[in-house]
Amino acid sequence: MTPMHLKNKNTAAHVIQRELIRLVYATVPLAVLVVFVNSVILCFIQWSVIDHATILIWFVAMTALVLLRFVVYQKFNNLGSSQKISAFWERFILFGSAASGLMWGAAGIWLFPEDDIAHQVFLAFVVAGMCAGAVTSLSPLLSSAVAFVLLAMLPVLGHFLFVATEISGAMTVMGVLFAVMILFTAKNLNRTVRESLLIRHENKLAEEAIRRQALYDPLTDLPNRRLLIANLKQEIARSIRHNYIGAVLFLDLDYFKRVNDSLGHVVGDQLLKQIAQCIEACLRDEDVVARLGGDEFVVLTPEIGEEMGDASKNALLLAEKICLLFDEPFDIDGQLIHITVSVGISLFPGTDNTPEELLQSSDVAMYEAKKAGRNRARLFLPEMQQAVNNQRKIEKGLRQSLVEGRLELYYQPIVNEDNKIYAVEALLRWNHPDKGIVSPAGFIEIAEKSNLIISIGDWVLKSACEHLAKIAEKNDLIMCINVSPRQFRESSFVDKVKKMLLETNVNPGCIRLEVTEGMMLDNVSETIERMKELTDIGVSFALDDFGTGYSSLAYLKQLPVSVLKIDRSFVLDIGHNSSDAAIVETVIAMAEAMKIGVVAEGVETQQVLDSLKRKGCRQFQGYFFSRPMPFAKLINLLESRQGANILGFKEPGCIELASKCKENSV
């Protein structure tokens, strides 16, 4: 295989050569005009001293050559900018220049009056002028410039030596010096033109790379969400104008995470690439397939029918065709992988006429397909509208609340073996105008599906850092901040965290970002790189909700996480459920072996705490110690406690907090 840099170099050389040819062809009309005018003048001036038949033959030959060059130029001009420039065009420039040089060389012999010095000098002057002009126009293709100059100049210079008049020696020396000088100029011009073309080519490549990064998914090379939304916007407008129906198919692979976890992310990435190619291959040219991230793809197919019945039928047929692609296993380096896909379909134009709304309704239909047993397609039906409306209502309310300052951060202590608070977790609350304090469980997922999670995440990061700055002086606390996968995927995330740390002047060592395995569905090496950029400045990471999903030990080895948080679903019932107890025990043993800390979430009773301690757990979080509380309450708790055992203050402080902080759901 050709190494990448060599391949790039070859393409660059190719592109530059093509541009050089274009540059030379661009000068042809002016060049042939000048040649024609100068030959007329030369013939006119030499008419009195040279045999007329010779002049006429030379003039006819020169004019024929001028016409031929112009015709070829026109053919080249009709090629169109995207058409390949074959070697013929370069060869023709060389031929045209050599032939033209030869004609001027012939003038140096045939139109050279042996006994008229004035006309000899005039002829030399015209030939030299032509050479100077040719050097500027032909220098992009150096061989053509050299061929022209040598073939045009040598005969006239030789002729001067041959006739041996009183000025011929001087004329020859000056002529040779002139030829050397213009050839040298041609070489310099050629280098300058090549260099500027190379710079232009590199700039173009850099611009293209930036554009691709912004609009294409780096793994599959498919359009990303941004480009899909732009395409969708256009297609919706077109469908309304031209009165046809298009479809959006939302594809989500079934149990993709299992592949990633059992076979590793390299295989998972390969599988995603192969799936992307398969889907693309089964679509029409005008259809678009995009990757939204993780294992989600969207197919946009315009003009799928002219009326609803037909369009629905065709869209379902297309979805079936896509599902059938998954009947055969995918072969990844000899490993056969069986996977299926669930598809949700939305048609447009309809009541939902923005790209985001369409994606939302096809997503809802896709969830219906999952609920119905996966590996199938579902069309978005009016009955599903209620779910969409609910999501939109929450999204709209949340957006407004963010502006109105109705979001709040609550804090829940995380304690060590001696029940001392060593960290707090910032937990988002929505101070809903009608429902009071609302817990994030019901709205974080909705925010995650829209861009809203980015602004909310920014706000959480800022507020948590500001709060930490207020208490950091008196308390040595770690601030744990939840980060959603979408937020982490933003290319500006690392810079945002660094900027926030600088602005609030908090110690990066006191910040722990809680991430989930969902983040790993995307480019894993990039995720790890980003995490390392932050751990390098002291920020630490906790892997949240560990045990839910299909926690992968393959990732865990690579991730720079310092803490695992065992999900509360395993902890709550540890006393009665033996498999939960076994899972917790295994996670603790594994983390110990990997020298990673473990926090057990959801500790509600003394019995659970005792059981966890017996299994070797050293850090705890849960209602047994304290419910999440507003910042003001946290300050009170920290001031009254001053490093003592939190349970010593449990009565009445925490009980009171527990009863007051009941939360609602949206």
Report the DSSP beta bridge partners of residue 138. Answer: none
Question: Near Mg ion by CB under 5 A, which window of 10-18, 98-106, 296-304, 594-602?
Answer: 594-602
Alpha-carbon distances of 258 from 254, 264, 344, 369, 532, rounded to whole Å: 9, 9, 22, 19, 25
Among 254, 363, 514, 517, contact with Mg ion (rule: CB under 5 A): 514
Smallest gap from residue 459 Cβ to ligand C2E (A): 9
C-beta closer to ligand C2E: residue 46 or 484: 484
The nearest distance, CB 411 to ligand C2E, in angstroms, is: 10
Task: Give the whole-angstrom CA distance, residue 421 versus residue 423.
Answer: 6
Shortest distance in whole angstroms from residue 425 CB to Mg ion: 6
Burial level of 618, CB count in 10 A (0-12/13-18/19+)?
A: middle
Q: Which is nearer to Mg ion, 148 or 546 (CB)?
A: 546
Binding to ligand C2E by CB under 6 A, coded x per residue (else -) over 540-579, reads ----xx----------------------x-----------
One DSSP character per residue, 15-37 reads HHHHHHHHHHHHHHHHHHHHHHH
Its sign, for the CA torsion 269, 270, 274, 280, is: positive
Q: Which of 150, 444, 528, 666 binds ligand C2E (CB under 6 A)?
A: 444
Tell me which of 235, 295, 303, 514 binds ligand C2E, using CB under 6 A. Answer: 514
Closest approach of ligand C2E to the CB of residue 426, in Å? 6
User: Per CB under 5 A, does 621 bind Mg ion?
Assistant: no
Q: List C-alpha distances in Å: 627 to 202, 411, 460, 468, 602.
A: 58, 8, 19, 19, 10
Alpha carbon distances (Å) from 641 to 419, 591, 648: 11, 31, 8
Instruction: Indicate which of ligand C2E, Mg ion, none lies near residue 484 (CB less than 5 to 8 Å, by partner kind).
Output: ligand C2E
Binding-site member from 235, 363, 522, 545 for Mg ion (CB under 5 A): 545
Residue 122 or 411 with smaller CB distance to Mg ion: 411
Task: Give the Cα-Cα-Cα angle 368, 401, 397 (nearest 5 degrees).
Answer: 35
Q: Out of Mg ion, ligand C2E, none, which partner does residue 439 contact, by CB within 5 to 8 A per kind? A: ligand C2E
Residue 653 interacts with which of Mg ion, ligand C2E, none, CB < 5 to 8 Å by class: none
Q: Given candidates 372, 441, 582, 655, which one binds ligand C2E under the rule CB under 6 A? A: 441
Question: Given candidates 604, 618, 647, 650, which one binds ligand C2E under the rule CB under 6 A?
Answer: 604
626 binds, among Mg ion, ligand C2E, none (CB under 5 to 8 A by kind): none
**Residue 308 burial (C-beta neighbours within 10 Å; 0-12, 13-18, 19+):** exposed
Q: Does 544 bind Mg ion (CB under 5 A)?
A: yes
Paired residues of 423 in beta bridges: 414, 478
The whole-angstrom separation of Cα 459 and Cα 592 is 35
What character string, x for contact with Mg ion (CB under 5 A) and - otherwise, covers 479-498?
---x----------------
Site for ligand C2E in 612-641 (CB under 6 A): 621-623, 628
CA 380 to chain centre: 30
Give the x/- contact pattern for Mg ion in 423-462, rule: CB under 5 A: ----------------------------------------
197 or 566: CB nearest ligand C2E: 566
DSSP string, 551-584: --HHHHHHS--SEEEE-HHHHTTTTT-HHHHHHH
Q: Which class for 39: exposed (0-12), middle (13-18), buried (19 or more C-beta within 10 A)? A: buried
Cβ pair 44, 111 in contact under 8 A: no
Q: Is 239 in the site for Mg ion (CB under 5 A)?
A: no
Structure tokens at 373: 């047993």
CA 108, chain centre distance (Å): 62
Residues comprising the chain, all counted: 666
Nearer Cβ to ligand C2E (379/608): 608
Select from Mg ion, ligand C2E, none the partner in contact with residue 344, using the beta carbon and a kind-dependent cut-off of 5 to 8 Å. Answer: none
Which is nearer to ligand C2E, 62 or 637 (by Cβ)? Answer: 637
Among 440, 518, 547, 653, binds ligand C2E (CB under 6 A): 440
Nearer to Mg ion, 363 or 545 (CB): 545
602 binds ligand C2E (CB under 6 A): yes
Tokens 């629905």, located at residue: 312
| Residue 190 contacts ligand C2E per CB under 6 A | no
CB of 637 to Mg ion, least distance (A): 19
Regarding 269 and contact with ligand C2E (CB under 6 A), the answer is no
Q: Point out which span in 82-90, 159-167, 480-488, 646-654 binds ligand C2E (CB under 6 A).
A: 480-488
Tell me how far the alpha carbon of residue 206 is from its chain's centroid. 13
Give buried/exposed letters for 576-596 (b at 16+ CB in 10 A, else e). Answer: eeeebbebbbebbeebeeeeb
Total of residues contacting ligand C2E (CB under 6 A): 25
Give the span between the Cα atoms of 553 and 547, in whole angstroms. 11
- Look up residue 405 and give its amino acid: G
Mapping DSSP onto H, E and C, the string for 601-633 reads: CCCCCHHHHHHHHHCCCCEECCCCCCCCEEHHH
Task: Give dist(CA 426, CA 406) in Å, integer.
Answer: 16
C-beta closer to ligand C2E: residue 149 or 603: 603
The verdict on 585 binding ligand C2E (CB under 6 A) reads no
Determine whether 502 is exposed, middle or buried from the number of CB atoms within 10 Å of its CB (0-12, 13-18, 19+). Answer: exposed
- Applying CB under 5 A, the site for Mg ion has a residue count of 5
Is 460 a binder of ligand C2E (CB under 6 A)? Answer: yes
* 19 interacts with Mg ion by CB under 5 A: no
- Region of 24-32, 201-209, 520-528, 599-607 interacting with ligand C2E (CB under 6 A): 599-607
**Residues interacting with Mg ion, by CB under 5 A?**
482, 514, 544-545, 601
**Residues interacting with ligand C2E, by CB under 6 A?**
412, 426-428, 439-441, 444, 457, 460, 482-484, 514, 544-545, 568, 601-604, 621-623, 628
